[in-house]
Structure 1
Amino acid sequence: MMLDVYSCASGDRRHLGSVSPSEVLEGLQELGVYSILRPDKNSNLYIDDSPIPTESESAFWEWSPGFYSGRVTVEVVSPTSYQPKTYFFDVAPDQKKIDKAQFANYLQDIADYLPDYLLGSEPAKTGLGGKSPLVSLWVAYTRLKANADAYLRGLQMIRERPITRLKYLRDRVNIYQAKKIDAATISGLRSNPALLEALSQRREKTHENSSLVRDTRVNVPFHDPSVDNPPNRLILQQILEVARHAAWLRSQLSNYQSRPSDTETDVRKSLPRRLAFLDRFVRKLRQITTSEPFSIISMQTTRGSGLNAVSANPVYYRSHKLGMEILKKGVSELTFGEMQHLSSTWRIYEAWCFCAIAAGFEKSYPDYQWSLNKQRKYTDCMLEGKKGNTRIRLYDQLVCPSLENANSYGYMSISRERRPDFVIEYETPDTRNFICVDAKYRVSQQGLLDAMSSAHIYQNSLKLDGKPPIACCLVAPHVKNVNVLSQQRYWEEYQVACFAMGDKTDVDILLATVMLKFGQLDEDIN
């Protein structure tokens, strides 16, 4: 079933393209306006699990992506089809701000420096994988949903053909039923001389003589096929761990709270469908664990033999690997192997600005000893460079408390709490100075002029050791519409500016400009 998509940018519907199930439609853009032709009036459309409402008699679904860029999952659910039809839309960033290749470079730079900063809850995804200690709700949910069906199919195959091993047992059976004897059997016969004597007679007389023997049972060994073995125990333990993981996800999503925002997608609309999926998944796992072979497997601790046996069996190995993928934490690199939700485009731009400035400092000042500290109090991340008694610090999202209540770094606001995107601090034995930098994902003249208010607010309200910042500036993808704000004369005269920061060349220029303001543009800069 083809899906027809129309662009409504000019007010009229223009056919953008048709896409088949499992295929990707390109040509869409963040904040664009689109109409999607309904295959029939009983079908429902879901964008990343969020329902797209429409009038019952309308021939189209109307949809507009928010501030995000990447691959979006689109599902059409029809009452006449058992499975939803899945399509993919490739949403590009706003071309007035940055192009697609530029955005891809941003993603790579962030992944190389701080991959956690890519993660978000927007419908758009990109190839992102690996692992790290980070516990992320959306990474966990995405991995579970991506692997759930294949994992359940693998478990069903294990149920149909479980690994069995012969279990060594002993029992007392009638002498006529004994198929095998061993040393223990012979030793037991010594306590029954009458039976031993009967056995010593010729075979045809054994029945006659043994009828006089009161107890004709002997202790014999035998082997019974059993599913209660290390590989099955290992799989069962993993199933229970995956079930606990899914239950934790359900609890987190049930209590998920988000504040409405004009610049971020409200994920609460997707929660009913996601909770229903988790309920079905946990229910299927429960059915599996309460049926054979798993219902008769003991919970003894498995050792290396279980893992070795799993690795040697293709079905067990694939199922166990899928379970490990479901339970894996964090991300560490861009990859083609899995897709993860991204942050909004403006957050991606902010994250890239921080990573680019941080990497630029490390590159420009190689003789400094650099350390990156994440999740510290009052700041999301801090890069610090040391050289003798000199310090350079870069703060990300520094919280400056209100009403002269300084934070642990000495920063405060004389009015309400402020949180500049970045603070660059230069410390010598004699003094500490700082410059505020705010990243703005906007390029229009009016948008940047409005945003300049933050530079003035920081200049007037923020203090470090009782002193204001020596300057404040904005950075934006480009400043073609406000060239005067980027002039050196403007920066020197008013101590505020708006600089272009769209690529690494712009980063080098910004760092040189900032350090010149500190009076430190010297041989230290490469």
Structure 2
Amino acid sequence: MTWKNQVRHGFGADVTPVLEIRHGSGNELLASVANGGMAAGLHEGTVYQLSCTAPSANLYIDDVLIPPTAIGRHSWTPAFFAGFVSVIAEDVTGKVAEFGLHVSPQASKASDEQFVQMVEAIRDFDQTLLAGVASAAMALGKEGHAGLLTANIQLQRLRRYGPMFVEAVSSIVRSPHRSLTAESRMLPLARIRQVHPSVMRDRRVVALATSSRLDGEELDTLQIRSHTSTPTFDTPANRALLALLRRVHARTRLLEGKVQRCELKGDKDEQALRSTRRLAALNQLSERLRALCRMEPFSELSPYVEVTAAGLTQVAANPSYNRTYRLGCLALASGLEGIQKDKVNVNYSWGIYETWCFLAVLQCMRSLGLTLIPTVSALVKSDLAYSASLSKHRSIELHFQPKFPSIEPSKGKVCWSISRERYPDILLVDVNGGDVRSMVLDAKWRSGRTNLLEAMESVHIYHDALRTSGNAPSPCLLLVPGDADVPALAAKSYIESNQVGAVYEFGVEGGGQNQLTQVLQEWVGPFKT
């Protein structure tokens, strides 16, 4: 339900629930938000204390119960995500209220404006890349495809629009669409108002018409064939709606199985935490859909119904059917493209940063004069791949989230890890005749000296473990949004000596893109297009 609907169906007029927000370290009230409202000013990585004025209300964030502390408050930390967060308060009777929170990224990593620019850059490129499994949501579209998270998007859409679809169908059940069917039947003469001229072939009717006498008993039993009409629910509109009902019910049952087996995208332990509440919602929806299929007008229809052009025409002409059918289609929607009006869970802030970094590296490569185009690589499997031809025998490929399988490469590929399977964020591969070399860039949503030195572990592992045609990637660099808290890591001499290092201020308005462009220019070297 939307917040507006939650206000209407929430705790009721006798209780007006309010969510109070405090810092984890004190009692000072930071903000309070009423049912259906939204509070801003929260930041990722900060501990908050949430409390609801409604008595004995449980708080849920992204289907996870936030347990109360000893003083009755709920401790919560928005860890590594930014966007809109929905807080659900549910009392012992099952009544709910919904509160919105807007979480911003840590100021030491990026400002709100810079983070928004990163998000918009990804939207312009492919907004399906924004979708994820974090607790935060952003407005995305409903058309096209869902990228790599089809089942997760289907679950969110079904839970949002499924109950609304059920309510709309229930309204139609109370006043369904009917039509009249014409058929030819033998009826008593007394029940016929108008006869067809062909009945004059019946001698008994001719006798009546010529005032000839008929035996009284024969007149009472006289039946003739006549056209009559009978009301029926078997209309193209009802058949189309029943077909849609069955599709929504089938989707519900499918997702029940996926949730129960933890087969959605994301960590299985995290899915298990959410499964109880998700299954309860899906089970309730499934039961209501099944019950509707057994009610009139649908119980009178054939088991084999389908959507036809005639059915869609009737649906479009009837406002209640049109709205209901639209809600059913929204409940089945899994696309993320088009106009951004539907809030969908997005990636963690570090995932959004990684995606933006790939686009930034793509732009840096193009600024060198390389014409990179999408490709299907023969070298390595990855989520996104671009290639540029530098000469007849030389080409460079750029990959996002490439797969380095353990111990040996996949069939026909040239990349592997000498330890466990690994997925660096960004990979560049230079193929020059028979020589193959590579560079790895690892985006880290980190700031501060301690965090940076700890994050350097990943580039050391990549440099030691990854192989491309038998060669280790050189160099392996961190991309970080913050300041140069450890300047030595970015020094040219340090990178040349150790083949690992860091690029600082790699953000929307930082100088990191210029620094990386210089590194890439030296790594690519001279070429002719």
- Where do residues 324-339 of structure 1 align in structure 2 (5 Å cutoff)? 324-333=329-338, 335=340, 337-339=341-343
Q: Are 1:243 and 1:282, in contact at CA under 8 Å, matched by a contact in 2?
A: yes
Partner of 1:409: 413
One-letter code of the match for 2:77?
S
- 2-structure distance, mates of 1:14, 1:304: 62
**Unmatched runs of 5 consecutive residues or more in structure 1:** none
Q: 1:498 to 1:273 in 2, by over 3 A?
A: same
- Does structure 1 residue 397 correspond to structure 2 residue 401? yes
Partner of 1:100: 112
- Where do residues 290-439 of structure 1 align in structure 2 (5 Å cutoff)? 290-298=294-302, 299-333=304-338, 335=340, 337-362=341-366, 365=369, 368=371, 370-373=373-376, 378-389=381-392, 390-403=394-407, 405=409, 408-429=412-433, 431-439=435-443
- 1-structure distance, mates of 2:280, 2:182: 45
Q: 1:232 to 1:257 in 2, by over 3 A?
A: closer
Q: Are 2:406 and 2:421, in contact at CA under 8 Å, matched by a contact in 1?
A: yes
Q: Are 1:433 and 1:518, in contact at CA under 8 Å, matched by a contact in 2?
A: no
Q: Are 2:152 and 2:264, in contact at CA under 8 Å, matched by a contact in 1?
A: no
Of 44, 55, 58, which aligns to 1:30? 44
Of 465, 469, 479, which aligns to 2:469? 465
Q: 1:310 to 1:175 in 2, by over 3 A?
A: same
Q: Are 1:375 and 1:381, in contact at CA under 8 Å, matched by a contact in 2?
A: no
Q: Which one is further off, 341-350 or 452-461?
A: 452-461
Shift of 1:5: 2.5
Q: Are 1:210 and 1:216, in contact at CA under 8 Å, matched by a contact in 2?
A: no
- 2-structure distance, mates of 1:6, 1:157: 40
Q: 1:26 to 1:521 in 2, by over 3 A?
A: farther
Partner of 2:81: 68
- Secondary structure at the aligned position of 1:518 is classed as helix
- Where do residues 40-55 of structure 1 align in structure 2 (5 Å cutoff)? 40-54=54-68
What's the CA shift string for 1:226-249, capped at 9, x where partnerless?
221101110110000000011111
Partner of 1:482: 486
- Does structure 1 residue 518 correspond to structure 2 residue 528? no
Which ranges of 4 or more aligned residues in structure 1 deviate by more than 4 Å? 208-215, 257-261, 372-377, 404-407, 504-508, 521-524
- 2-structure distance, mates of 1:244, 1:179: 48
- Secondary structure at the aligned position of 2:486 is classed as helix
Partner of 2:53: 39
**Unmatched runs of 5 consecutive residues or more in structure 2:** 1-15
Of 245, 251, 254, which aligns to 1:245? 251
- Secondary structure at the aligned position of 2:428 is classed as strand
Q: CA RMSD in A?
A: 2.9
What's the CA shift string for 1:231-285, capped at 9, x where partnerless?
1110110000000011111111010068997xx9924222211111111111111
Q: Percent of pairs identical after alignment? A: 24
- 1-structure distance, mates of 2:83, 2:271: 17
Q: 1:507 to 1:314 in 2, by over 3 A?
A: farther
Partner of 1:172: 186
What's the CA shift string for 1:207-231, capped at 9, x where partnerless?
x656455851001001222221101
TM-score, normalized by length of structure 2? 0.88
What's the CA shift string for 1:100-148, capped at 9, x where partnerless?
2222222222222233322222211110123233462221111112112
- Does structure 1 residue 144 correspond to structure 2 residue 150? no
Q: 1:67 to 1:200 in 2, by over 3 A?
A: farther
Of 264, 270, 274, which aligns to 2:274? 270
- 2-structure distance, mates of 1:488, 1:317: 65
- 2-structure distance, mates of 1:274, 1:498: 42
Of 8, 13, 18, which aligns to 1:3? 18
One-letter code of the match for 1:293?
P
Shift of 1:484: 2.5
Q: 1:471 to 1:300 in 2, by over 3 A?
A: closer
- 2-structure distance, mates of 1:265, 1:352: 28
Shift of 1:200: 3.0
Q: Are 2:503 and 2:516, in contact at CA under 8 Å, matched by a contact in 1?
A: no
- Does structure 1 residue 227 correspond to structure 2 residue 233? yes
Q: 1:437 to 1:17 in 2, by over 3 A?
A: same
- 1-structure distance, mates of 2:452, 2:229: 81
Q: Are 1:512 and 1:521, in contact at CA under 8 Å, matched by a contact in 2?
A: no
- Does structure 1 residue 455 correspond to structure 2 residue 459? yes
Shift of 1:379: 2.4
- 1-structure distance, mates of 2:429, 2:216: 101
